[in-house]
Amino acid sequence: MDCKTAASLIEAYLDNELDRADARELEAHLESCAACRAALERLDDLRRRLREPDLRYAAPAALHERIAMSAQATRTSRRSPPAWLRYAAACVIAFGAGGISMRLWHAAESGNALQEQVDRDLFAAHWRALAAASPMDVVSTDQHTVKPWFAGKVPESPLVRDFAAQGFALAGGRIDYVGGGRVPVLVYRHGQHWIDVFVFASGTPMPAAAQVQGYHLVPIQLGNQPAAVVTDMEATELSSLIRLLTTPA
């Protein structure tokens, strides 16, 4: 490779947009050409300086407030009963195994930032899926199709059951990112409502129960794995589904 070709590729290389073959050829040239190396260093230096925090403007508090107020004004008035959280906790203690309620209790007391981040991720993943063209990557009402689809994509394939007869039809599954890891998600449908069941690896701490803008997050035990149900379904319907999910097959 000559310097002219190298110069035409060097920015795409810096931007991580060069295919592997070209990148390798360019790297070979850079090994032997001090001038092109210096050019790359100058570009990298410019980027480093542009990324320094003193060139960034942070959103003023007034703007945060304006956005929060507009968000509040547009959100729908669907509200949950005030007793919901107590109800959810009762649900979990009634249906979860002994150790889980302890962990949940602990999480609720410490309310640590990691736990909150996981909750945020779960709600965001649910909303993202609702806003996307399809909330499923694999569309199937057949548990024998959905379970093998997960195998090979995640280390632990979750327990998959269809509850169509009870009004909660299995719609499919997808993989989502929660707390930086890949998590299998079972998608159920009940009337107009979509229900996501995020299934975590065995031994993962339970997410904390939460609700945001009419959406509920309820931690459950699915087989031997902790899981989180996220939906905008009403409390009574949700508890029926949770009972189905947590009852041994």
Burial class (CB in 10 A: 0-12, 13-18, 19+), 75: exposed
Nearer to other proteins, 95 or 168 (CB): 168
Alpha helices in the chain (DSSP H): 3-14, 20-32, 34-50, 61-74, 84-95, 98-110, 113-131, 143-150, 235-246
Nearer to other proteins, 57 or 165 (CB): 57
In angstroms, the CA 178 to CA 155 distance is 15
Q: Smallest distance, Å, CB 239 to other proteins?
A: 21
Nearer to other proteins, 70 or 110 (CB): 70
Q: Smallest distance, Å, CB 101 to other proteins?
A: 29
Question: Exposure string (b/e) for 103-112, b if CB count within 10 Å is 16 or more?
Answer: ebeebeeeee
Q: Smallest distance, Å, CB 64 to other proteins?
A: 6
Q: Which parts of this chain interact with other proteins (CB under 8 A)? A: 11-12, 15-17, 42-43, 46-47, 49-52, 54-60, 62-64, 66-68, 70-71, 74-76, 78, 120, 123-124, 126-128, 130-133, 135, 192, 194, 212-215, 232
Nearer to other proteins, 15 or 27 (CB): 15
Q: Smallest distance, Å, CB 115 to other proteins?
A: 17
Q: What is the dihedral of CA 23, 29, 33, 35, to 10 degrees?
A: -40
Nearer to other proteins, 8 or 112 (CB): 8
Q: Smallest distance, Å, CB 243 to other proteins?
A: 25
In angstroms, the CA 219 to CA 222 distance is 10
